[in-house]
Structure 1
Amino acid sequence: MEKSPVDLAARHILPTLALCVFVNIVDRTNVGIAALNMRADIGLSASAYGMGAGLFYIGFFFAGVPANLLLARIGARRWIAALLVAWGLIAIATGFISDAGSFYAVRLALGIAEAGFVPAIVYYLAQWFDRRAMSKVMGLMIAMMPASLAIGAPLTTGLLMAVDWRWLFIIEGAPAFLVAILVLKSLPERIDDVPWLSDDQKKALSARLMADGAHRQAGSWRDALTHPQVLLLSLQYFCIGLSSQAIIFWFPQIIRSTGMSTLESGLFSTVPWVLAALLTPLWAWHSASTNERYWHAILPCLASGAITIAGALLLDDSALSGLLLLSLGVALSSMASASYWAIPRVHVFGAAAAAAGALTNSFGNLAGFVAPVAVGISKDMTGEFRLVLILLAMPAFLAALCSTFAGRMADPVDRRSIP
């Protein structure tokens, strides 16, 4: 039986993009485990570390929209390869920092270099997959993020036990150059370029995408940046990310504060990402199978907020139970993100879609600045993590409300099970 053009596109495109995501996530987050030794070596306080970890997302915020306005001119394939080279160089440079100032500089630069990556992936995939397929594809790509952390955390921990933390950054930064070459050689720019689709399959895939966009709003990037729904979705993404971003950069240190060793802390830090990697694709598959997006974003937001608060409250009395609940809270945030990412492109396309993706990604990722900075300041002031984790979990309830209102702004054809 002949495979559909959508299945063929997924088979030829997704493995390379998944490898890009793996390298991206490792280079972005390995500082969380490296900090177990790095902070003492260069004299970083908790507040200084939190500031440096968070500055990544300030660069991310300011570079996101302008970076992605270049997408249509440069082409997604070349743009993704260029970003890989840029952040690989900066990731390696992290191995040469000597104080808080140089730490701040490389984290800010890394954020600028990585700002265009996720929207570029979303924009590229939208050239190949319609809305129905996009839910499944984005579920897989979102699942690759926690899967990358689940694989990367033990690798990074092993490297930290074997070599100095400086070499850790150098070793883990270098593969970005090889992946950039792979992107240029293996990713096609357009449907018409590929040898693995017949002429009839190319026409069928193009027709499917055109039909998918027929009812949606075309527009300029200015339209997207002022669209009420795009702004609301940006706020939603910000709220979804607060607690999970705190965990990404602080979880190894939260774990060690319960009495575990450096090795145990690094290895246990994989638990949230293993859970997320298992649950997220199942949730995305169910969303795609039922063609329902909004409840699939709302329910995990509500559960994530409640479970993260419960986990934080248990940290002192039952550390293991608290850590496991915090891990589950992160997995639920990942499930919400998988459904969330299918929403923005339903309502706009073309230049407006690129700008909408860039804005929601950039603004939403400001949570990555607020969360680690807040944790660092709170740790220096109170000596514990519990209170700030509770405060950062509460906006998840607002995220659920945002999804409800975003659904009511949809075009009639897209209103499915809106609460």
Structure 2
Amino acid sequence: MNDDQLERATISKVGWRILPFLILCYFVAFLDRVNVGFAALHMNGDLGFTAYIYGFGAGIFSIGYFLFEVPSNLALHRFGARVWIPRIMITWGIVSAGFAFVYNDTSFYVMRFLLGAAEAGFFPGIVFYLGRWFPARHLSSATAIFILGLPISVLIGAPLSTAVLEFAPQIWFRNWQWMFLIEGGLAVVVGIVAYGVLRRGPEEAEWLTDEERVWLVNRLEAERREKEQAGSYGVLETLWNGKVLFLSFAIFCNITALFGVTLWMPQIIKGFGDMTNAQAGLLTAVPYLCAGIAMVLNARHSDRTGERRFHILLPACIGGLGLALCTVTQSPLLAMIAICVGAAGILASNILFWPLPSTFLTGAAAAAGIGLVNSIGNLGGFVGPYINGWARDYFGNYAASMAVLGAMVALYGVLIFAFLTLAGRRDVALASAPMGQPMRSGG
């Protein structure tokens, strides 16, 4: 077997072995993060929550996430994914199930904060973990496949959550309480399974042949040494690194739009026309079906052409326009098309972002840097829902807030375009090179 055949065989085996399970984990994680948006169709009325209370509480998740993100990622680097990822999943599953016992605004705020603290470190931990398995020129594609868990979670979670809300027996608990108990319990089960499935790295992969294992370990070690020779960072130095902070603010803009839309999606869609809660919940899956298709097509075309800048800028700007228009048109059909465009633009541009920090960070610095980028970025998960809640109570609609969220995702595209344009070729070569082709950073 020559080197090319060995590389293809090894990467294919690694991908099929670990990515489907990681997608399942992300599906469960994101479902437990956003199922409050479906619960709100019933919970807000049962508990007397205003749009402001719901928006503020939904966003507090990100404060807990921010405070515990970097420590959690450093713990993952210390203890390994096999221990730390299951710990995260089991903890957040227990907290998510605890939402069944929320009874007023204060308990809602506390539980959302605790959920953020429990989930902190999961997403950047997985991004860091992928870097332990995939060489640089395969990392973008692997990360893109993993992030498909996000639209899948809403695509499947929307009818699942809606079915629970509609058909759960009104015995002992209300329908939205049953939803939290069932979906939180799912996270606990998957977390227990994760302990038996995950491995620390390819050196522990008994399912690789000796030849495949040696090739992959040596390849990853060579790339690590190359990055260290180019200039390595300590953990504290990483937290003040200009590139890290720039990327943190850029993804903050994208995530502000992402969660501003996601956590309000069922209520926004219900406002498009005269429909029931069940209809609104089911229609929530449509924008994420469009987003999933856009993510795959954009990532594949970007890898095939070797171009990154415009594959981030154009979807972000088009998505921003969709968000701005979705609540101002009088046509329910046009509004639905606009929000589909908005969701597709947010996620198609987001998916190419996450390999960027790993192009200049290694080891504990990579764990800390990716954690910081994601923790600052996820503060947008507080700002976005809060903006929508405030606008709904103050103006009586979402037009102003959706225009702001549209501007935020477009700004994200502009910032990353500038980063990739101005960054040195050496810094971005690994992230910019498509599989099997030389890097090309231009448009």
- With the shorter chain as reference, the TM-score category is over 0.9
Paired residue secondary structure (1:111):
helix
**Aligned match of 2:319:** 304
1:16 paired to 2:30:
no
Structure 2 residue aligned with 1:176: 187
Task: Tell me the residue number matched to 1:248.
Answer: 262
Q: Distance in 2 between matches of 1:252 and 1:310?
A: 17
Q: CA deviation at 1:320?
A: 2.2
Distance verdict in 2 for CA 1:101–1:121, change over 3 Å? same
Matched letter for residue 169 of structure 1: F
SS at match of 1:348: coil
On the 8 A contact 2:349/2:413 being kept in 1, the answer is no
2:442 and 2:373 map into 1 onto residues whose CA distance is 21
**Other-structure match for 1:236:** 250
CA RMSD in angstroms comes to 1.6
Q: Indicate conservation of the 8 Å contact 2:44/2:50, yes or no.
A: yes
Q: 1:343 aligns with which of 352, 356, 359?
A: 356
> 2 CA distance for matches of 1:218 and 1:286?
32
Q: State the match for 1:276 in structure 2.
A: 291
Alignment check: 8 A CA contact 1:294 1:339 kept = no
Describe the superposition over 1:82-125 as per-residue Cα deviations: whole angstroms up to 9, x where unpaired. 00110011011000110001111110000001111001101111
Aligned to 1:133: 138
The offset of 1:210, in angstroms, is: 2.6
Q: Give the partner amino acid of 2:81.
A: A
Asked if the contact 2:251–2:377 (Cα under 8 Å) also holds between the matched residues in 1, the reply is yes
- Work out which of the residue numbers 270, 285, 289 in structure 1 matches 2:300: 285
Identity %: 35
Deviation, 1:397, is 2.6
**Structure 1 residue 413: Cα displacement:** 6.2
Residues 222 and 409 from structure 1, CA distance in 2 versus in 1: closer, same or farther, beyond 3 angstroms?
farther
State the shift of 1:330 in Å. 1.0
Alignment map for 1:159-198 (pairs within 5 Å): 159-163=164-168, 164-198=175-209
Higher mean displacement: 297-306 or 332-341:
297-306
After TM superposition, give the deviation of residue 289 of structure 1 in Å: 2.8
| 1:417 corresponding residue in structure 2 | 441
Q: Deviations over 1:165-196 (max 9, x none)?
A: 11110011101121112111111122121121
User: Normalising by the residue count of structure 2, what TM-score does the alignment of the two structures yield?
Assistant: 0.91
Whole-angstrom distance in 1 between the partners of 2:305 and 2:209: 30
Checking the alignment, whether the CA contact within 8 Å between 2:318 and 2:341 is kept in structure 1 is no
- Correspondence for 1:142: 147
Letter in structure 2 aligned against 1:323: M
CA contact (8 A) 2:203 2:217 kept: no
Q: Which residue of 1 aligns with 2:432?
A: none
SS of the equivalent of 1:174 reads helix
Aligned to 1:215: 226
- The question of whether the paired residues in 1 share the 8 Å contact of 2:27 and 2:150 is answered with yes
Structure 2's unaligned 5+ residue stretches are 169-174, 430-439
Distance 1:304 1:24 in 2: 24
- 1:104 maps onto 2:109 in alignment: yes
Of 404, 408, 417, 1:395 maps to 408
CA distance in structure 2 between the aligned counterparts of 1:366 and 1:246, rounded to whole angstroms: 11
So what's the TM-score if we normalise by structure 1? Answer: 0.96
TM-fit CA distance, 1:238: 1.0
CA offset at residue 250 of structure 1? Answer: 0.8
The aligned residue for residue 205 of structure 1 is 216
2:98 maps to 1:93:
yes
Decide whether the 8 Å contact of 1:293 with 1:340 is kept in 2. Answer: no
Structure 1 distance, partners of 2:258, 2:132, is 30
2:373 aligned with 1:360: yes
2-side partners of 1:309 and 1:245: how far apart? Answer: 15
Q: Work out whether 1:329 is the aligned partner of 2:359.
A: no
Kept in 1, the 8 Å contact 2:317–2:409? The answer is yes
Correspondence for 2:31 among 26, 33, 38: 26
How many Å apart are 1:418 and its aligned residue? Answer: 4.1
- Give, in whole Å, the separation in 1 of the partners of 2:281 and 2:441: 41
Amino acid at match of 1:35: A
Within-5 A mapping of 1:62-77? 62-77=67-82
Tell me the CA shift for residue 351 of structure 1: 1.3
Which consecutive residues of structure 1, in runs of 5 or more, have no partner in the other structure? none
> How far, CA to CA, are the matches of 2:442 and 2:161 in structure 1?
42
* Partner SS state of residue 300, structure 2: helix
**Equivalent residue letter for 1:236:** A
Secondary structure of the 2:108 match is helix
CA–CA separation in structure 2 for the residues paired with 1:199 and 1:115: 36
- Counterpart-to-counterpart distance in 2, 1:154 and 1:76: 31
Instruction: Provide, for residues 136-193 of structure 1, a one-character-per-residue CA deviation record: whole Å limited to 9, x for no partner.
Output: 1111111221111100111000100012111110011101121112111111122121
The one-letter code matched in structure 2 to 1:52 is: G
Alpha-carbon distance in structure 1 between the residues aligned to 2:411 and 2:262: 21
Preserved contact between residue 295 and residue 417 of structure 1 (Cα < 8 Å): no
Opposite residue 342 of structure 2, the aligned amino acid is G
User: Does the 8 Å contact 2:101/2:177 carry over to 1?
Assistant: yes
Contact residue 276 and residue 332 of structure 1 kept, 8 A = yes
Contact 1:304 / 1:330 at 8 angstroms: preserved in 2? Answer: yes
In structure 2, distance between residues paired with 1:233 and 1:100: 34
> Which amino acid is 2:62 matched to?
Y
Alpha-carbon deviation of 1:29?
A: 0.6
Q: Say which SS state the counterpart of residue 207 (structure 2) adopts.
A: coil
Shift of 1:411: 4.5
**Counterparts of 1:39-50 in structure 2 under 5 Å?**
39-50=44-55
